[in-house]
Amino acid sequence: MPYDERLFERMLDALERKEGWSEKNMYGGRVCVVNGHAFVGAVDGGLIALCPEEALKKHLELKHCTPFAQNGKEQPGWVKVSMDALKTAKQLSRWVDASFVHASALPPAKAKPKARKK
C-alpha cells in the first residue's frame, strides 16, 4: 500500500521548527531521519514512530497502536499509529515530537557498508 502523502505533509509541518533532520524513502513509504536514525514516517496508510523502550509497552496498550512489522518481521522500538488517532495537528505533533526527541538523543548511527556488486 502506498504511503499517505497528506499525512507526510502534515508530519513535515510538525517538524517545521526542528533542525538536523532529513527525509528518505524507507519501509515502502517516506520517513524522517535524524542522526542517521529514522524516527517517524508515513508508511502503509498510517504513521510509524520510533519509541523509547520504556514507553513502547504503554504505547502498544493503546487501541490505535500496533507493533510495526516489515515483511512479517516486527521492527524493534517501532509502533504503527492508525489514522483515527491522528485527526488533529496536536495529536500528530505529540508522536512526531516525542519520536524526534528520542532519536535526537541516540548516538549517531554508523553508516552501513554498501553491498558489493558481483
Phi, psi of 37 (to 5 degrees): -110, 125
The amino acid at residue 86 is L
**12, three cell numbers:** 513535515
Sheet of strand 46-50: strand arrangement: 21-26, 29-34, 37-43, 46-50, 73-81, 65-70
The amino acid at residue 22 is S
CATH 3.90.25.10 matches 5-105: no
pLDDT tens sequence across 3-39: 899 999 999 999 999 999 999 999 999 999 999 999 9
The partner residues of 26 in beta bridges, in order of sequence, read 29
The partner residues of 22 in beta bridges, in order of sequence, read 33
pTM for this entry: 0.89
Domain coordinates of the chain in residue numbers? 5-105
Distance CA 15, CA 28 (A): 21
The pLDDT, as a whole number, for residue 115 is: 66
